Amino acid sequence: MKEFYKKKFIYAECGGMMILGDSIEDENGSSHNMAGILPFKAKKGSLSIGYRNIKGEKDSIIIKKNQHIKGHEFHYWQIENKFKDKYSSSLFSSPWKIKSWGTTYKKEGWSNDNLHASWIHLHLPSNKEALKNMLNNHQKRNSN
């Protein structure tokens, strides 16, 4: 996966994002190495479920700064990151902020020019520009 990541774009939602982390801890406390692309460990947590309103934090492969899109989240996992800002490091930053009913916006997801990873399952019809952005970015990468 690391070799693929060096050459091609990776888009990962939910469990796909977990595979990109350093490791996953199972219910028995045993740790299992994953791809090691994203700087976090995943372990069992409480249920996170529901529809999310999403606002672009920066121009990314999916949406531009201040654009909106909708999606949903459904998982029992949590991530632990070694960085103070859970969704930022020297190589990645959060592409957006998410909120649900009765909450405020919070950073979520990881992105850079070659990767997008998030808990969110996107509802692309909620922002028709998002699919165009993804396709345009994909074509730019493959034309070089």
Identify any residues that bridge with 10 across adjacent strands, giving them in sequence order. Answer: 115
3, 40, 42, 112, 117 from 62: Cα distances, Å: 23, 22, 24, 11, 11
14 carries an active-site annotation? yes
> Assign residue 86 a region: left if phi > 0, alpha if psi is -120 to 50, beta otherwise?
alpha
Q: Is 1 within 8 Å of 33 (Cβ atoms)?
A: no
Annotated active-site residue in 14, 19, 35, 124: 14
Report residue 11 as tokens. Answer: 């888009």
Question: How many Å apart are CA 59 and CA 13, to the nearest integer?
Answer: 19
CA dihedral 86, 89, 99, 74 (to 10 degrees): -70
Catalytic residues: 14
